[in-house]
Amino acid sequence: MEGGEHLHFGGVDVVELAERFGTPLIVTDEARVRENFRAYKEAFSAFKEEVAVVEDVEIYYAVKANWSLAILRILATEGSGADVVSDFELKSAMLAGIPP
């Protein structure tokens, strides 16, 4: 970065984000989350065809990795399931729209 340039995340100036929302701040790129989920699904679907597995591929996100409702809602709209180990994780996943 050169004179006066700021770091950008997902095309957004992080200094502007900090000024608008305060710090500390956790920022997630929704497009990247969706892109990564679809890439995993596509990769496993291709492997399924290679080994002649009949069932559809289902991806289950480990909620313990990040239980942010925003992330879980994104994954729910992509068709993700949830891998949970506690009532809290189950309730979070269900609140985000992931079926039990």
Comparing 28 with 46, the larger pLDDT belongs to: 28
Is residue 72 domain-resident? yes
The tens digit of pLDDT for each residue in 32-45 reads 999 999 999 988 88
Cα angle 15, 16, 20; round to 5: 120
Is residue 18 domain-resident? no
pLDDT at 99: 92
d(CA 45, CA 78) in angstroms, rounded, equals 15
Is residue 14 domain-resident? no
Q: How many CB atoms lie within 10 A of CB 32?
A: 11
Give the number of residues written for the chain.
100
Is residue 5 domain-resident? no
Is residue 3 domain-resident? no
Structural domain of 71: 29-95
- Mark 54-85 as b/e (b = at least 16 C-beta within 10 Å): eeeeebebebeeebeeebbebbbebebebebe
Is residue 90 domain-resident? yes
pLDDT at 4: 62
Domain count, the chain: 1
The tens digit of pLDDT for each residue in 45-73 reads 887 766 666 677 889 999 999 999 999 99
